[in-house]
Chain A
Amino acid sequence: MRNFFAALAGGTFGVGLMLSGMTDTAKVQGWLDVFGNWDPTLAFVMGGAILPMLIAWQIAERRHRSALGNLIPERPEPRVGRNLVLGSVMFGAGWGLAGLCPGPSLAALSYNGIDGFVFVGSMIAGMLIAVPVKARMTAAKPA
């Protein structure tokens, strides 16, 4: 049951990414290209995606449990630290370079050819590299 709904959510996510144009790197880079030929589509995608989730969070936080019984994830501590900022800056730089973020890179894996696999392979390598990097950053953090 749990796996079925996870696959359903993943498939729905993929269709949404495809339909919205977010697997088109030109549209993503167009959104980030404020000084060039700016493309506002991504604002509509983000806005459209946030709308159902506004309602979903209201329901989730009132019920405390999901339909399959596990607890709704707790709100993380509102700590804005170095990891959040530095990580997001690195992610944004990569996102701008290729026009792909994790979701669309997987949704478009079947139609991006070998280049799509090069990106996803490098992203997975980056996720492995992040483990010792994050451990070091956390250890080096002044108390």
Chain B
Amino acid sequence: MNILDFIQTDWLYGLAGGLVIGLSAAIYLLVNGRVMGASGILGGLVDGSGYVTAMERLSFIGGLVFVPALFAVFVGAPETHLTGNWIVLIAAGLLVGVGTRIANGCTSGHGVCGISRFSLRGMVATVFYIGAGGVTVMLFKHILGVI
């Protein structure tokens, strides 16, 4: 990326978007009394462990999918640069699905909600998933050249 672009806008969008993410987690905690973790909310529906709170989970996911869809239609979709390599997508999806359920959380649950509560588990998880992500990008981008 262009360093000048970053100085001008990227960090500001990042910070503003981050504040909005934090606001959404605060609403979910203070109003609904729940930890906003994307993998937990979806995972509880997928494996049935969150059956009792299914409507609340579905409502959250509905908002998460449809509000950006409205933006995409009326304002325009941002660039995503998602790979079209299905082998990579399937492997990555499986790893994310299995890993987040075994670790009991992802970037939103362990990262945003865990770190802000000074949770040791959240901090340790964040160190390991960022570390593993860094090693993966180094290996598959710079050494193997497949992503």
Binding site for B on A (CB under 8 A): 2-27, 29-30, 32-37, 39-57, 59-60, 65-73, 75-76, 78-80, 83-103, 105-113, 115-116, 118-131, 133-134, 137
Cβ-defined partner of B32 (8 Å) among A5, A20, A44, A54: A5
Cβ contacts under 8 Å, B83 to chain A:
25, 98-99, 115
Is the beta-carbon distance between B89 and A119 smaller than 8 angstroms? yes
Instruction: Write the nearest CB–CB distance from B67 to chain A, whole angstroms.
Output: 3
Cβ contacts under 8 Å, A110 to chain B:
65-66, 68-69, 72, 77
Given the interface pairs A14-B65, A88-B125, A112-B82, the reply to whether A123 lies near B94 with Cβ below 8 Å is: yes
Cβ contacts under 8 Å, A23 to chain B:
68, 78, 80
Given the interface pairs A56-B30, A68-B32, the reply to whether A18 lies near B63 with Cβ below 8 Å is: no
Cβ contacts under 8 Å, A95 to chain B:
92, 96, 107, 129, 132-133, 136
Instruction: Write the nearest CB–CB distance from B3 to chain A, whole angstroms.
Output: 9
Given the interface pairs A7-B62, A98-B92, the reply to whether A123 lies near B97 with Cβ below 8 Å is: yes
In the complex the two chains form, what is the Cα distance from A80 to B119 in whole Å? 11
Cβ-defined partner of A46 (8 Å) among B11, B18, B79: B18
Is the beta-carbon distance between A21 and B17 smaller than 8 angstroms? yes
The contact sample of 28 A-B pairs, CB cut-off 8 A, is: A6-B59, A9-B60, A12-B20, A20-B21, A24-B78, A25-B83, A27-B10, A35-B142, A39-B6, A42-B14, A48-B14, A60-B30, A66-B31, A68-B31, A72-B33, A87-B100, A88-B124, A88-B126, A90-B95, A91-B106, A92-B129, A95-B129, A95-B133, A97-B92, A103-B64, A119-B90, A121-B93, A133-B102
Is the beta-carbon distance between B56 and A6 smaller than 8 angstroms? yes
In the complex the two chains form, what is the Cα distance from A102 to B106 in whole Å? 7
Map CB proximity to A onto B34-73 as digits: 1 under 8 Å, 0 otherwise. Answer: 1110110011001100000001111111111111110110
B4 within 8 A of A: no
Is the beta-carbon distance between B25 and A52 smaller than 8 angstroms? yes
Cβ-defined partner of B141 (8 Å) among A29, A46, A107: A29
Cβ-defined partner of A25 (8 Å) among B23, B69, B80, B142: B80
Cβ-defined partner of A32 (8 Å) among B35, B86, B137: B137
Given the interface pairs A15-B20, A17-B21, the reply to whether A84 lies near B27 with Cβ below 8 Å is: no
